[in-house]
A and B are shown apart, each in its own frame.
Chain A
């Protein structure tokens, strides 16, 4: 057995240039799968960060009925109760109340369906990134101020200080309610859905349009010193608050519900690279065998059994894969390291209905350097079986003639 392994490994280094070329190609393909994994993990972190830090927060508290029906009439009547719970139980320092109104925004040039969010200007600044995304004008502070996205501005042909009417539904009188606003600022997130459909007004104006003097639909909050990996784990969890459900990252989780697409892409990519890598090894092994058909007959002439010939070729495949793994590891460490330090700028690119607003940083994980290489070596060994079987079935007299 030791001799078979020795032969397999020495044969790998027999044609050094061919081995180097093949192992480099296989190594790069394996590395692309390993890099893809780290990049995918970084992308997921980026998406979670984007969602939690740009708008959603780490979690939200809603009235249970609001979550079930999304009807505007179901508000948290006494947000202070929930705030106390947030501060005492979850130790949350950053939180803000929001009122959500499905509405119609109208200018002299047209109208659009929008989601109006009533915000507490000061608290909202600490939680979301709207204030950082303002490209024109200022943040809303007066009851008639409105902050709109760049796409809505273009669609309704609005400029700073232009008038805009918001029409919505008063949940108390069950009648239409309207308000006249002036464009105070314009923001740009890079997400079409956000920049066209989300409109910010002050919370008092939103409550007035809704017909309520107090109460909010949502209390968004962020927890201090919560590592991103923990946020990912917390995503599906729900805790009971006195007022309703406190969903840790529910919206975030819902948004990342696009993962199946993401996973398919990832799995397909890895599948393709692994598949291509195997074909490469398959071709190499056959090419190598074809070069020395007579040699395998010599092995058999000297007394090797067929299964030993198969093992010999498999050992060669394993040697080839091991060398490819070394190349892949070096390449992944270099490329992944660069991506981990400098990041990849995907700013403005939309994926799974989300827009990346910050750099994606590579994330190293032990799986990339253990599971992937091991699977690669196992697959190569399996793929080498057929060339080995072929070599073991040669007609000795015929192949030995070729050597004469």
Chain B
């Protein structure tokens, strides 16, 4: 008897706890009742397909990070060679992870090798024939750079998304190479703005203009080549010119200041009251900027964003910590640009692999049809169980409702996300969940037929079926596990619902249902028949 009392207490405790976690916050939110904070914070979250929003999959072009490293390294070697007075014909990158040095004179070979040893630790050098050396980035270094690029890109995207003010965004790395980033922005409707902000490289560089602007690139070449230490950057033609024609500038390759030296950026207005972005530099940046502007008063400073000159104002006096980017911006562009600059630049460019936009109305339809299907399915199953098993059917229905409460509570507790396939999993859990009750009841019927007493039949029915139930549930869990492994967003929701449903079903169909039988039978001394 006391054994039974403990069972009842366990069942009731489970009921109260899971109702509080899983059901109460939903009901409270639906009817506008106050609920304690610690409960509402755990309330079941809706997936993107139900709530509406944007789902993006991006690939980080990790080759960019490698290419940059290769260029930097070849540049360092070139400088080293100048210092060591070794003359070569050319130093240039080949592909993303290699660079080639040509024309090393035989008498300078030893000096070259020594100079090369000073730098390029992350590169393997081949033996060198006819004065040509190829430097290849070490595999381990390539792998490290690629991984770092993805992590940095993810962090930058996180900062930008947070700055956008999206609630509960989800940003994660995925894909077989680990170079994909999944971005989910619930409730966002302005997809294009979100997309632009996320993928803008946001690389700000301030460089001194040596020559230009000119309307053609060719006219800036000296002897058909870009002057040493310089580069040619395209840009929009001057202020007030709305023709949008491209002009070219020759600028120093080494940037005076880059986005890394930025402390903050905010929207402002320029002297003509047009939208602009004001920025301030950190101490290190201010020192460098002060020196460069002081040395170059009267010349022009190119403000380059993602490889395009936005404007090239004249330096009137030495500037230290404050600056302004003006150009032909709209108010919104200025907002976006400040946000991008604040969040830092991306280490590599991004491409979109997948885009999914779910309007709020589509999400609402999905919820509505999901709920209708659930209710209809539930009613059908309940009706069937009551007709077929009569009073024992009531037992099964109680176990089923219990199962649903535990399922909702567990999902809310582990922070699972409810998706439309998740609702389908919910409905199916009910259909498949009564399976266990049916199995037990059918067994009890058989035991009753072999002329056993009611109590003995019930005990035998539960005892004999338990191992079978364990087997069927584990087999189903195996397939749910692979489903989880395979799936993305919504499908994962389905796999989670199914797995959690299977586990709570094992508890309700054996423990809860048996306790109910015992409870009913404990009030009667002689039991001759069972309504089943």
A, B in one complex: no
Interface residues of B (CB under 8 A from A): none
Residues of A within 8 A of B (CB): none
